[in-house]
Amino acid sequence: MTSSSILHWLGDERLLLSLMAGQPVWVLLLVALIAIAMLSRGADWMVDGVVDLARHTGMSEVVIGATVVSLGTTLPEAFVSVMAAYMGNPGLALGNGVGSIIADTGLIFGLTCILATVPANRYILDRTGWVQVGSATLLVVISVILLALAPAGSEPVLGRRVGVLFLLLLLAYLYLTYRWSRRSGESSGNADATDSRGIWLCWLMVIGGLLLIVTGARLLVPAASQIALRFGVPEDVVAATLVAFGTSLPELMTAITAIRKGHPEITVGNIVGADVLNTLFVIGAAAAAAPLAIPGNFFHFHFPAMLLILYSFRLFIFVNREGRFHRWQGFWLLAVYVGYLLLQYALNIGSVTG
């Protein structure tokens, strides 16, 4: 098998689904169980590695979550989107990025606020939070301008120049996040690393955990989809739930494990960073690979839903003077996400991948 065929197999969701389609139910169940075990073990390794890495470097866990962890958990979206654009299916890339922002902030962060007391590091979030909402707003503004300039009856297109611009902004964001962290003087709260793992072992745990999470997610979604189809679940329901939810599995597993281990601040950084990367990295890299057409339903449905969730999150950062997010804020974000899904079904609007 050549390297190009391996990349094609990993990047094309249809090939994964067709591979699973020919397997008996017991094989699908075995694959699903193995994938869940990989997700669980990978999340354990990654969270433990992040905590010790924060102790070694003096960087806060929220910053490592917003950079290292979010970069790792958005790699599935970026890889699938770039390969889809390269192989002539660019429409998947825009939906992948926007859908992941909506799912990460509305569903995953909303559930995190409901289940745990989530700290709000104002110094970091007052900066990265503006990048989070600003990058998404920039995407919408550019899209609206392109819509106004597009010939009548044609769809606006995010060109390669926009993709390169987003990638340059991504590099600036990663650099500024590191500078903000060092300037804040905020560490993980335990500068003594004598009892923690060596720094190289920490990196090995973070990278190894991310690889397990990403691989587990890639295996679980097609296996679970085929199991659901075998038991009579309609194909459109499977596509709009299991498949659309699949690329957000890494963020979800990270959130659950971080809460269980008492480090919800990792989830805050991961969600904020993942939102930025879904715009600048996932959509940017895909647009740089091939121009992305913007369907009309994004302007009257998907973009408004994304901005409502992100500006709600931005407002919560502003009003939370106690240094933590409140449970009712999680319920609001989750309600917006559920309402978005229900309207999508009721109005028969084309879904985006989340």
**What CATH number labels 12-182+193-346?**
1.20.1420.30
Q: Kindly list the domain boundaries of the chain, sorted by start residue.
A: 12-182+193-346
Q: What is the pLDDT along the chain (354 residues), one digit of tens a residue?
A: 454 554 555 555 666 767 777 788 888 888 888 887 887 778 778 777 777 777 676 666 677 777 777 777 777 667 767 766 766 666 667 887 888 899 889 998 999 899 888 887 776 677 888 999 999 999 999 999 999 998 887 889 999 999 999 999 999 988 887 777 666 554 444 444 444 567 788 888 888 887 887 787 777 767 877 877 787 766 555 554 565 566 677 777 778 888 877 777 778 888 888 899 999 998 998 899 888 889 888 999 999 999 999 999 999 988 888 888 999 999 999 999 999 988 887 776 666 655
**Which pair of tokens denotes residue 209?**
């955990």
The reported pLDDT for the residue numbered 253 is 78
The reported pLDDT for the residue numbered 14 is 65
The reported pLDDT for the residue numbered 342 is 85
The reported pLDDT for the residue numbered 185 is 52
Q: How far is CA 80 from the centre of its chain?
A: 13
Closest CA to 313 of 335, 339, 332, 327: 332
Q: Identify whether the C-beta of residue 316 lies closer than 8 Å to the C-beta of residue 133.
A: no
Kindly report each contact of residues 214-217 with a partner whose C-beta sits within 8 Å and lies 24 or more positions away, as own/partner: 214/72, 214/73, 214/75, 214/76, 214/250, 215/35, 215/38, 216/34, 216/35, 216/36, 216/37, 216/38, 216/39, 216/42, 216/249, 217/35, 217/39, 217/76, 217/246, 217/247, 217/249, 217/250, 217/253
Closest CA to 226 of 80, 7, 18, 63: 18
Which pLDDT tens digit goes with each residue over 260-277?
Answer: 777 777 788 888 888 999
**Amino acid identity for residue 29 in this structure:** L
